[in-house]
Structures are given as C-alpha cells and as structure tokens.
Structure 1
Amino acid sequence: MITIHSYSIAVLLCFITMLCWGSWANTQKLATRKWSFPLFYWDYALGVLLLSLLFAFTLGSSGTEGRSFLSDLSQADTNSLLLAFTGGVVFNLANLLLVAAIDIAGMAVAFPVGIGLALVIGVITNYVATPVGNAWLLFAGVALVTLAIVLDAIAYRRKQAGQTQTPIKGIVVSLIAGVLMGFFYRFVAASMITDFSMPEAGKLTPYSASVIFALGLLISNFIWNTIFMYKPLSGEKVTYADYFAEKGIGLHLV
C-alpha cells in the first residue's frame, strides 16, 4: 500500500481533508433544491463506498509497504472487521442527524455546532487513548472550538427569537450528531494497524478499514435513512419510489 512519510505532505493532506469535510454539505444544499436530504443521502452513501473501493484497489494495492487490499482483507480477524463496520454504523447515524440539522437550521449553524462538538470529543477521547502531541496546543484549540460552538448557538437563538419554530430544535439535533460523531473514530482506530511497515496480524490497513467502514455506513443506511425518509425531522415524507423517479444523472452526480 502507499504510505506517507513526509510530515509536510501529511499536514497538506489533512488540510485537504478538512476542506472536503467542511464543504461536502454544500452539495446537499444544491441537491435538496429538488430532493429532500434522505434521498440525497443515498447517493452520498454510495459515493463513499465507491470512493473507498477506488482508493483500496489503487493506492491500497500499490507500493512496497504493508499489505495489499485483498491480502489484508483475507487475514483480518472478526473483531477488527466488526469494529470498522460499527464505526461506519455510528458515523452514519451521526451524519444523518447532521444533514437533518442542516435542513432544519441551515449549514451556518448546524455544521459549526455538530462538527465542532465532534472535534472536541474526538480530540479528548483519542488523546486519552493515545496521548501523542502537545497537550497544551491541542486543548487550547479545543477550548477555542468550544467557545465558537457556544457563540454560534447563541447567535442562532437570537436570530430565531420571535419565530414560531422552536429555535433550539436545530441546535439539539446538531449536538446529538456531534456527540455520536465524536466517538465513531475510536471504533475505526481500534480496527487498524499501528505499524504500516510491519502491520500486525488480524488488523486492517487504513484502506481496508475505510472499505469496511463504508459498508457499515451503506448497510446501516437501510435502517437509519429509512426512518428519516418515512419519519422526517423536517419536511415531508419521501419513499424509495421518489428516489428512483429521478431519471437524470445530473442530480445523482451532485
């Protein structure tokens, strides 16, 4: 598999990851001009699986270090597979709640609150499990993110004051999403190898773990997203027939 040894490249990739993580919801806002978010989310779940498979069969099956994708899957133990799969299930519920919160409160409110809280919880839980890095810098950043969440929630509450819709609904859904999202990575991390050059037996490489994670996301979608389709937190009920009624490929590509 392909691994990164340069610190600067690793930081650059983290930066790109954060850009993608912070901007994918824009596609939801574009798509939901015609579709409700549960229908959009089916394409999202399929896209995650397809992209993870693409990386697994290319980057995850090239290079000289570690194990190739198929070889890695064949030696993985049940516990590692279940951990990565569970991570996908938990993340999927959190992400669905986040998308619902965006639909209710708008991206400017839901995303900072949900993702911010997930970042705070994720940093704390992962640092407790693996105390690596400068604790002062990490927790100073956590404090600033927490402050941003509080200020964002206050601003939203004031903006919604006097309106008939309950102003805290979007914030509450965002907070629940953030709590769940803050814990999903511990499952995935526990399933993965820690030494890329000499991978532990039974564990998964990041490429393999991402595929199992994506499978957990997609399969759990038949439970979580079906609930959101027929019992929506906002908007009208939609059905599977509504998804297949869209025949143009353009909306699916968004």
Structure 2
Amino acid sequence: MILPQSYSAVMFLMILSLVCLGSWASAFKFAGKWRFELFYFDFAIGLLVASVIYAFTVGNIGFDGFNFLDDLQHAGKRQWMFGFLGGIVFNLGNMLLMAAVSVAGLAIAFPMTMGIALLVGILIGLAGRPAGNLMMLELGCALVLASVVVNALLYRMRAVAEHEVLARAGRAKSTRRPSAIKAIILSLVAGILIGSFAPLLDRARAGDLGLGPYAATAVFAFGVFFSSLVFNIFFMNLPVEGEPVDFGAYFSGRLKQHLLGGSAGVMWLTGVLALMVAGSVPDLVQVPALERYLLSQGAPVLTALWGIVVFREFKDGDVRVKVLGVLMLVLLLCGMVMIGLAPQYMRAV
C-alpha cells in the first residue's frame, strides 16, 4: 500500500478529509426533492465501489506495508468481523442522520448529531483509557453539549418562523405550530450510533492481526452496503417524513440524482480513508495534535456552513435565529478546541 511520507502530504490528506466529510451531504440537497431513502441506495453503491477501487489501486501498490489482498489474508477473522459490524452500526446511525437532514436540514441535523457523537465517543474513550486534563475535557464537553441545546432551541425557533411565513402566505397545512421533537430524537439516536462505531473499527485495526487502512475501509464498506439493503426496507415502509415509498420509485429518478447519491458515497469514503491513511504514518511526519483533532472533527461545522450559506436554510428566520446559529457554531468550535487541547495537559488525569 501507499502511505504519505512527508508532513505536507499528511496535511493535504487531513484537509481533503475535512472537505469530503464536510461536503458529501450537500449532494442530497442538490438532488432536490429526491427522497433520502432512494438517495441512500446510490450513496451505499458509491461508497462500496470507491472502497474497492482504492483497495486495488493505491492499496495494492507501493512498499509501505502489505498490499490489499495480503492484508486481508494476514488479518484475523475477528478483525474482519469488527470492521463489518462497525459498518453496520455506522450505517444505521448515518441513515438516521440523513432522515434528520430531510426533516430539519443540514445546518441543524449535522451539528446536533455530530456533537452528540463526539460526546459519546469521549465517554467511551474515558471508560477505556482516560487521559489528559479532565477539567479541560469536561469544559470542552460542556461547550459541545451547550451547542447541542442551542441547536435544539434554534431549530424550534426556525420552524416557528417558517410556519408563520407559510401562514401569512396562506400555504400552511395547519394552524398548529410545528414540533421539533422528531428531528431532535432522530439526531440523538443517530449521534449515539455514530459515536459508537469507532471502537469497533479501532478493534478491527488493532494488534499484529489488524487490518490496514485500505482493507479496513473495504470491509467496513461491505458492512454499510449490505446493511443498507436491510435498513432501507424499514425506512421506505415506515418513513420519518412523507408517504411510504416502494423500490420501483428508485428507477424513476433522474441520472443527475443517481450520480449525486453515488458521488456522496465516494466523497464520504475518500474522506474516511484519507483520515485513516494520515493516521497510519510515523509521528515524525504527523500533523500536530490540536490541528489533527480539529481537522478530523470539524466536518459538521463545514456542513452547517453549506446549509446556512449555500442553501440558505435560515433565510426565513429573524435576527434571533441567525444569532443563535452563530452562537451554536462558536460553542461547538470552542468545545472542540478545549477537547483537542486536553490530551496535551496531563496535570489533572
């Protein structure tokens, strides 16, 4: 396989990862009124195809470790299982995240879900190997939690503002003010699941029999693909938004919509693989810890900016909505900085 050999190459991969992981979901918005359940079939296909292409190209040449097929043969079957299960757990969380996006939009669903996922990941990490300055870590977690709470309030206020605009135009379906509970529950469950898959992937890569980055993403991608076929049956028949949809509707989509779904899967896989490859290099060429943490965790901020700036998801909101949107992002970023700094200050372990 090929691994980066310089600091600049590692930094490039980290930035590439941030851009891909922060932008893939925008493809769903560009697809227009295409249902997320149908979009997700193409996402899973694109993700799987990208993992296989990367595995048999950059994962199968070079002299920085086992090639792809040798890596699969060398790894233990338990490592295969953990990688596959990690794909399943992540996929259910990611499908719930896309359901939340279809209800609440990118700027609400992504920061809320990924903020919860970040907190869950930290709790799991503390249970396994607590390290760093606990005071800084707790402050960082409190800031992230505050951003989630502000996000929930923001969504409620935005939903009310949008309903009032529709009511004044005579296009409101009901006089009742909309509830924010559906998107919040979807984001909460999605965040718990997404925050829980990383330990499974870590176990797939751990030890002498662990999978390398290219093999791990390939096994993970198969878990995502096959579980999508199962989970989507439930989402299509028990939709979180709109009427049930049958599989035949998939073939009525335009080529553009299918390509957008596939490109989203390619972008996501590229981002995760770039992150894993960048994390596999020696410390000598590694990016400093804080920058590495912010680049690896900053995707929800970029996704929120897609929603706010490009898709104008807050356009019907008043000044309070816009102020809360800025506050939510500032709290999330400040929390990430504190969490990223905590391992560098070991005084209060």
The aligned counterpart of 1:13 is: 13
Change (3 A) 1:157 1:40: same
2:226 and 2:52 map into 1 onto residues whose CA distance is: 15
1:57 and 1:103 map into 2 onto residues whose CA distance is: 35
Answer yes or no: is the 8 Å Cα contact 1:76–1:203 preserved in 2: yes
5+ unaligned residues in a row in structure 1: which ranges? 195-199
The Cα shift of 1:50 comes to 1.1
Change (3 A) 1:54 1:129: farther
1:127 and 1:36 map into 2 onto residues whose CA distance is: 38
2:134 and 2:60 map into 1 onto residues whose CA distance is: 35
The aligned counterpart of 2:196 is: 183
Answer yes or no: is the 8 Å Cα contact 1:109–1:171 preserved in 2: no
* Structural mapping, 1:1-254, within 5 Å: 1-7=1-7, 9-31=9-31, 33-126=32-125, 128-129=127-128, 140-161=139-160, 163-193=176-206, 200=208, 202-246=209-253, 248-254=254-260
The Cα shift of 1:63 comes to 1.8
2:103 and 2:128 map into 1 onto residues whose CA distance is: 35
Identical columns (%)? 40
Whichever residue aligns with residue 236 of structure 1, its letter is E
Answer yes or no: is the 8 Å Cα contact 1:91–1:181 preserved in 2: yes
2:19 and 2:63 map into 1 onto residues whose CA distance is: 29
The aligned counterpart of 1:197 is: none
2:146 and 2:47 map into 1 onto residues whose CA distance is: 32
Answer yes or no: is the 8 Å Cα contact 1:52–1:210 preserved in 2: yes
2:24 and 2:87 map into 1 onto residues whose CA distance is: 18
Q: RMSD of aligned C-alpha atoms?
A: 2.3
Change (3 A) 1:143 1:91: same
Per-residue CA deviations over 1:70-106 (Å, capped at 9, x if unaligned) read 1111222221111000000001100000000011111
Larger Cα Rg: Structure 1 or Structure 2? 2
Query: Residue 50 of structure 2 aligns to a residue in which SS?
Result: helix
TM-score, length basis structure 1: 0.87
1:2 and 1:43 map into 2 onto residues whose CA distance is: 28
Query: Residue 60 of structure 1 aligns to a residue in which SS?
Result: coil
Stretch of structure 1 that moved more, 137-146 or 164-173: 137-146
Answer yes or no: is the 8 Å Cα contact 1:119–1:182 preserved in 2: yes
2:138 and 2:4 map into 1 onto residues whose CA distance is: 26
Whichever residue aligns with residue 178 of structure 1, its letter is G
Higher RCO, 1 vs 2 (CA within 8 Å, ≥6 residues apart): 2
Whichever residue aligns with residue 21 of structure 2, its letter is W
5+ unaligned residues in a row in structure 2: which ranges? 164-175, 261-349
Per-residue CA deviations over 1:190-235 (Å, capped at 9, x if unaligned) read 01146xxxxx1x3211110101101000101111111101110111
Answer yes or no: is the 8 Å Cα contact 1:193–1:205 preserved in 2: no
2:205 and 2:126 map into 1 onto residues whose CA distance is: 17
